[in-house]
Amino acid sequence: MNHIASVSIRSSTAALDVPAAALRWHNLRDVALREATRLSAILVLVLLGGVIVSLIYGAAPVLRSEGLSFFTTEAWNPVTEKFGALGPIYGTLVTSFIAMLIGIPVSIGVAIFITELCPRPLKRPIGTAIELLAGIPSIIYGIWGLFVLAPFLQKEVQPLIISVFSGVPVFSRLFAGPPYGIGVLTAGIILSIMVVPYITSVTRDVFETVPAVLKESAYGLGCTTWEVVRNVVMPYTRTGVIGGIMLGLGRALGETMAVTFVIGNAHRIAPSLLAPGTTISAAIANEFTEATGALYTSALIALGLILFLITFLVLAAARYLLLQLERRAGK
């Protein structure tokens, strides 16, 4: 009996040891996962801090030399080492605004059509086409814009716009001058085409998360498709839609090659949208290889710092807006 009892005790102890060992192994994996993810988060912060520090360090010479005038003047003369970033800042903001002005309505309209109105056999082809647009390299957009879109605008569209708005207050200045084809407006149109796939994809995905019972209930009450989209779909998904818009805006602010091809690359501020201009990213791409002096290089790095700050402020504002919307929804 004692022998049997001892064997039973040993068996019970072994049975208890196996779960304990497994538990220790699971705990070890949890600790490893937690530390690995923490290290990844810290690494991202370190990289971000390194980028900020390097940009500030590189921009310091021109900021010491020019002071606040670097942000408030448009003079850009590498020969006399006089630099002002107002022209590229203006071009970046205006082209991004044009892109959003055109791209947001088109993107939301396409997303509504795909999720609410599109026949089922067409949903997949249209969705695939949108994804293909997002995958086209930016230099292809630039080449197409330079050799196809710009000549078309120069010959067909811009002369018509100039004649229509001639003599109209404000618009006569916005659309004045000779039809160059290339310019700020052309760059904005190219950017709008480039941001449409991003905004559309995100908006379509968040529209599809709306519970079918909500839309069916609205239709059952006699609502039209417009009323369902306006009163059910948009309020339910507004946070995701704003996130998609911010994604597209980030792409528009930082786009380089496509804009470089069609904007004209002129460091000046012209009241007409048809005139050539430049953006921060286009100026850096065009001139960085030619920057021979230390102050010239510093000016280009300072442009990069300004673009970083603009993007950061835009994302911060978007995040604040999303928080406000979430609080209102909670109330």
The verdict on residue 44 lying in a domain is: no
The verdict on residue 37 lying in a domain is: no
The verdict on residue 175 lying in a domain is: yes
pLDDT of residue 172: 87
Which residues share a beta bridge with 277?
264
Cα 277 from Cα 98, distance rounded (Å)? 14
The verdict on residue 307 lying in a domain is: yes
pLDDT at 292 over 90: no
How many residues does the structure list for the chain? Answer: 331
The verdict on residue 147 lying in a domain is: yes
- Residues in Cβ contact with 122 at an 8 Å cutoff, skipping those fewer than 6 apart: none
Q: Each residue of 220-259: b (16+ CB within 10 Å) or e?
A: eeebeeeebbeebbeebbeebbbbbbbbbbbbbbbbbbbb
pLDDT of residue 330: 61
The verdict on residue 220 lying in a domain is: yes
pLDDT of residue 15: 45
Overall domain count for the chain: 1
Residue 274's domain comprises 69-330
**Tell me, what DSSP letter sits at residue 277?**
B
149, containing H or E segment: none
The verdict on residue 125 lying in a domain is: yes
Question: What is the amino acid identity at position 299?
Answer: A
State the CATH number of the domain containing residue 276.
Answer: 1.10.3720.10
* Interval 170-181: pLDDT, tens: 888 889 888 888
Q: 203, 200, 196: which is closest to 234 by C-alpha?
A: 203
Rounded to the nearest integer, the mean pLDDT of the chain is: 86
* Interval 118-153: pLDDT, tens: 888 888 888 888 888 888 888 999 999 999 999 999
The verdict on residue 95 lying in a domain is: yes
pLDDT average, residue stretch 182-198? 93
Q: Using DSSP, state whether 211 is helix, strand or coil.
A: coil
Name the phi and psi angles at 175, rounded to 5: -125, 60
- H-type helices in the chain, by residue range? 2-66, 69-72, 86-112, 120-135, 138-144, 150-152, 158-164, 171-174, 184-207, 212-220, 225-228, 234-254, 257-262, 280-287, 294-330
pLDDT average, residue stretch 12-36? 72
Question: Token pair for residue 311?
Answer: 């993007």
Residue whose token pair is 């080492």? 81
Cα 267 from Cα 84, distance rounded (Å)? 9
Which residues share a beta bridge with 155?
none
